[in-house]
Amino acid sequence: MVQDAWNHQTVLLNEAVEALAINPDGHYVDATYGRGGHSRLILQRLSPQGRLTAFDKDPQAVADAHELAVSDGRFVIRHQGFCHLGELGHASANGVLLDLGVSSPQIDDPERGFSFRRDGPLDMRMDTTRGQSVAQWLETAEISTLSEVIREYGEERFAQPIAKAIDRRRQERGPFRTTLELAEVVAGAVKTREPGKDPATRTFQAFRIFINAELEELQQALEASLQVLRPGGQLVVISFHSLEDRMVKQFMARHSRSVVDRRVPFAEPAPMALCHVRRIKPGEAEVQGNARSRSAVMRVAERTEVSA
């Protein structure tokens, strides 16, 4: 296994795998391999006939997963985001797991540009082999765009002052290059700070979500899961902030009730696609042992027998 200088503790490890209700001969999808905690435990539950497919955009995670794939023929890794989930085919999976958290190696490695506490290149891309870094985007993003991204994806009430401060800094000193350059400007524009939270937290979250199109990809994956899951298959999603969790909650709620088309009052209601929806939070012991788990919310739903 590829060694990381930063350890990663998989959140809700046992709870997530239990929620998948593993059929030893089944096919499961770990749509966010990360550092393989969930994948390795799933493989332990599978028979020689079982299969596991994993997705990840991060080249470091894929390198780790390739070593696992070489040693275990039941496992396949795809260097793709989970928006490609639908490529697996209709009713091809017994369970789908999406762990939406950023892994500790990504956060703690300053070279990845996710941290506002350690100086490094202002990147934030999950897949460093393609796309635009945050530094590149900030060179040309207009104030109105900056403000909208910070407000919508960071839920930051000081979005407009932060956007103006970023623009002023660009005009005076040129493009941003490092994480601490950005964090310093954001801190100067945030007038009041939430207890125990760095003033740059929400802005960094917003830029990471935007540059990786995380919410758009999540919506695609959720919709694809309805096609990929077999009847009785489990959809398990672990979220770490309110934007993600709200999207997952609303998706599961929408598809776990029969829908009547009011334009055709005598038609049969559209059947629900999900059932047995439930919500699980980390226990006190896990939160004490891993502070990053405190914001986690896991939602689970079962694919119904009726096609959507």
Q: What does the DSSP assignment read for 85-154?
A: GGGG-TT-EEEEEEE-SPPHHHHH-GGGS--SSS--BS---SSTTSS--HHHHHHH--HHHHHHHHHHHH
Structural domain span for residue 137 = 128-211
Kindly give the confidence (pLDDT) of every residue in the chain, 308 residues in length, as a single tens digit, with 9 standing for 90 and above.
Answer: 334 444 568 899 999 999 999 999 999 999 999 989 999 999 999 999 999 999 999 999 999 999 999 999 999 999 999 999 999 999 999 999 999 988 777 887 888 988 888 899 999 999 999 999 999 999 999 999 999 999 999 999 999 999 999 999 999 999 999 999 999 999 999 988 788 789 999 999 999 999 999 999 999 999 999 999 999 999 999 999 999 999 999 999 999 986 555 665 655 666 789 999 999 999 999 999 888 888 999 999 999 986 44
Q: Are residues 166 and 297 in the same domain?
A: no
Q: Are residues 237 and 187 in the same domain?
A: no
For residue 2, tell me if it sits in a domain: no
Count of structural domains within the chain:
2
Where is the domain boundary, 211, 237, 267?
A: 211
* Numbers of helices and strands, H then E, in the chain: 12, 7
For residue 69, tell me if it sits in a domain: yes
148: CATH: 1.10.150.170
Which pLDDT value is given to residue 270?
61
Which pLDDT value is given to residue 104?
74
Which pLDDT value is given to residue 73?
96
Q: Are residues 151 and 226 in the same domain?
A: no
Nearest to 93 by CA among 50, 47, 48: 50
For residue 24, tell me if it sits in a domain: yes
Where is the domain boundary, 164, 186, 211?
A: 211
Which pLDDT value is given to residue 78?
97
Where is the domain boundary, 182, 211, 240?
A: 211
Q: Are residues 203 and 222 in the same domain?
A: no
Q: Are residues 95 and 163 in the same domain?
A: no
